[in-house]
Amino acid sequence: MNVDAGPGRSSLRSLEIFEAFRAARRPLSLSELARITDIPVSTCHGVMRSLEQLGYLYVVSGRDVYPTRRLWELADDLRANDPVAQRLEPALAALRDETDETVILGTRQGDAVLYLLVLEGRQSIRYSSRAGELKPLHSSSIGKVLLAGLEPAQLELWLDTHPLPRVTPNTQTNARRLRADLRAGLQRGWQATRGENVADVMAIAAPLRTGATGLGVAIAGPMHRMQPAEARLGTRLLQCVRQLEDADVR
């Protein structure tokens, strides 16, 4: 969907303002916000005034403004009542603690993987990401899970109509090789990426068949730790998703 102009872009103005604060990590002036977000100054001023009136921004000093805690409290309430994450997070947190690597819950959104939950490992060198990030289907482990779960005709149609852009030097950009990689993952029990989405990062993922939403669970970390432990991590990943599926059935 193109949101560069029109109603779609208009509805995202407030979110772009908050993303600007997130990136800057400090109070910002109107001119700075307009420059960072590439929103016309007059439009940016209107959005700022609306957010101030709703209690989401406050004037820090002079012309600088910053988000209030209202946004944080809103996000905390939404997170606490997320119907999927609330039910799955305890088991996924236990998987994170046992493997000491980052655990991710994701689903398909259009032609991308949407991260719903990211539980980062505690090691100083780890894979880091955030909930809400979008990743390509063909170069992410959860994306491969979702592609491998398609009916054969659906997968062929997707491969015929979608380019496979190179994200890193290791990305699978050939449909034949990607198809073979997906088949190998199905036989193994989990899909894997080896530096295909982020250089030097390996991830393994398995489908989670619970509810109506197609989900995938991944374990991700530095290649030098993940690769020697792949079989052990894969076995533990499959145990986790099967336990969650069994609990859902009961």
Examine residue 161 and state whether it is found in any structural domain, yes or no. yes
Examine residue 43 and state whether it is found in any structural domain, yes or no. yes
CATH number at 51 reads 1.10.10.10
One domain for residues 176 and 98 = yes
Residues in the chain: 250
**pLDDT exceeds 70 at position 249:** no
Burial of 78 (0-12, 13-18, 19+ CB in 10 A): exposed
Neighbouring residues of 96: CB distance < 8 A, sequence distance ≥ 6: 102, 103, 119, 120, 121
Where does a domain end: 51, 73, 95? 73
One domain for residues 59 and 95 = no
Examine residue 224 and state whether it is found in any structural domain, yes or no. yes
Q: 208 - beta bridge partners?
A: 215
One domain for residues 56 and 119 = no
Please give the full DSSP string across 119-154, using - where no structure is assigned. E--SSSS-----TT-EEETTTSHHHHHHHHTS-HHH
Where does a domain end: 40, 73, 106? 73
**pLDDT exceeds 60 at position 7:** no
One domain for residues 44 and 90 = no
Burial of 22 (0-12, 13-18, 19+ CB in 10 A): exposed
Residue 73 tokens, joined: 């409290």
Examine residue 219 and state whether it is found in any structural domain, yes or no. yes
- For the stretch 64-109, pLDDT in tens is 999 998 888 888 788 777 777 778 999 999 999 999 999 999 999 9
Q: Structurally, how many domains does the chain consist of?
A: 2
Q: How many angstroms separate the CA atoms of 152 and 132, rounded?
A: 29
Examine residue 228 and state whether it is found in any structural domain, yes or no. yes
One domain for residues 91 and 181 = yes
Domain that holds residue 147: 82-249
Name the one residue in this structure whose structure tokens are 């690597």.
101
pLDDT at 223: 96
Examine residue 1 and state whether it is found in any structural domain, yes or no. no
One domain for residues 93 and 208 = yes
- For the stretch 169-194, pLDDT in tens is 999 999 999 999 999 999 999 999 99
One domain for residues 89 and 208 = yes
Element of type H or E holding 201: strand 201-209
CATH number at 161 reads 3.30.450.40
- For the stretch 133-150, pLDDT in tens is 999 999 999 999 999 999
Where does a domain end: 38, 73, 108? 73
- What mean pLDDT do residues 116-139 have? 93
pLDDT at 10: 59
pLDDT at 17: 92
One domain for residues 132 and 213 = yes
pLDDT at 212: 65
Examine residue 115 and state whether it is found in any structural domain, yes or no. yes
